[in-house]
Chain A
Amino acid sequence: MKKKLLTVLLTGTMITALLTGCSGGQNNSSQQDVKSGEASREDTAGGDNEEKTVDGDFVYKVGYSNLADSDENCYLAAETFKNIVESDEFKEAVGHEVSVEWADSDGDITKQTTNVETLISKGIDVLFMPGVDTAGNASAVEACNRAGIPVFMIASESEGGDYKFVGFNEKDCGKVQGDYVAENAEKGDKICYMTGTPGREAQVLREEGFLEGLESRDDLELLSTQSGDFKAEDAMQVTEDWVQAYGADIDWIVTQDNQMGQGVVEVLKAANMLDKVRISSWVVSGTWDAEYLKKGEIEQAIYVSFKTLGETAADVCQRFYKGEEIEEKTYMELQSLTEDNYADYLK
């Protein structure tokens, strides 16, 4: 008797669960289909020109799959993007409230792929994604394509799928540094080059660009290339070792980001070598890292404002919701800063 009762209860529970599940699915799809009303947008990435509109109460959902919240620069870009997109001004411009679904990938491509799948299931209209890895991001982009969700890759590309690009050219960043050294180095100068995390797209492309920039000078010697892992503490260790290995032979140290530039300055300062070694680095936050440039401790820096990156992405997002045509690649401007011109760009 007990067994029978249990079977009936279980069967009832399963049927209820099934029906609830089906009805939930209908609700979701109907929510996505309901999009009728005032505003309209064009599906840009997929090349699909289907008009999609929303009613008065509908809230637009933008997916933002961040590379790593622990990265100061990525966080700044994401925060800037979110603040603008969720602002009243933005709401007025596009005619509806917009919410940003922000997911942190923690620098892990597997996590980013999973996050994107979750964002798709949350019913986002469009995805903005600073990708962890060019090859690895293809599956996330393709998943969005299959779901009919346009994708904008931020400051990184994808090897597969349809998407549009917003950001800066990694290779160009390296090339601007290489060009600067090639134009300003003395005959026979010796260079130490500090890369970021081995295997990361930014590390590979920036290095390629840097070496390309140096090609015009046969007399320059690349003494050593080592990884500072995009961290000040690791950069200090590498620089101390360089000072030991090459000492006064070092004429230039070039770093692939601002944190490592900070580490290099600290070590050279302690070794009384700041006057002797010329540094090419990055300014990203425009605050603490700009101080090194202002003091003349860093001779030249690429200025990549991640705040500007967030603003550029937000602008693209607004144009997307307004249904405007968006270019395949939207590049933000890169600046080569020195003691002479930094005041024009940094307050």
Chain B
Amino acid sequence: MDYFFQQLINGLVLGSIYGLIAIGYTMVYGIVGMINFAHGDIFMIGGFIALITFLILVSIGMTMVPVILLLVLLVAMAVTSLYGWTVERIAYRPLRQSFRLAPMLSAIGMSFVLSNFAQVSQGARVKPVPPIITGGYTLHDSDNFAVQLSNVQIVVVLTTIVLLAIFTFIVSRTRFGRDMRACEQDQTMAALLGVDVDRTISMTFVIGAALAAVAGMMYLLYYGLVDFFMGFIAGIKAFTAAVLGGIGSLPGAMLGGLAIGLIETFWSAYFSVEYKDVAAFSILIIVLIFMPTGLLGRPEVEKV
């Protein structure tokens, strides 16, 4: 039972990271109806920016961990947002009126560009960082197994909750959130009513990228490494999470993220580590067969 609880904690932490990435997918899909293939690589770039910022801050002699973390978070979010914005501007906007396959292929191309850009500029080797947040609590200690809750895990989950609260506020209460939901329903009508559609779509990409940057930083804190290839698998899994939760639905993305994190962790713990990705992808296929609209998605009405 203790083992189970430990895996539950690990799964929830991993799920938080997937959920943060999945929100970016689901938002973009909701508003422009395309799979932003490069989003996983934006997450990877976020991890790299966080790593480099952290390294600089430490080397100029900063020692207060909370300040460092906050600064790293802000820099990573800001710079990665700009990546998201640029990608949309260069690769997606010119193709918005094009046929459906075009933006998708453009996104695949962009994904190659980003991951290989990281490889070329930062080298192909895995970049390890020493544990930044150390320590933790022992929740329950039986004779042979102790359930640990580390401070990193607390930070990851708390950051996710805080950001989700801010994000939910933005989407449901602010002018921008209203614009976004309007564009999601009907872009032409939104434009007629004075919503700047281009700007709203840009901002959607920016927010998605900022959340992906947070996920990248959390990944760095939690696993203590980044590499240029981590965006691909994480991206597909986060997309799986978005689909599982019902694409287009924001709470669904988070829920799906948690589900994928838990499934993956439990699968690794009880079955086999090698096939954890196979498990996650199989879940995607099974979900789409039996629940094509996901857990919280609305059924798609077919108009002729």
- A and B, one complex? no
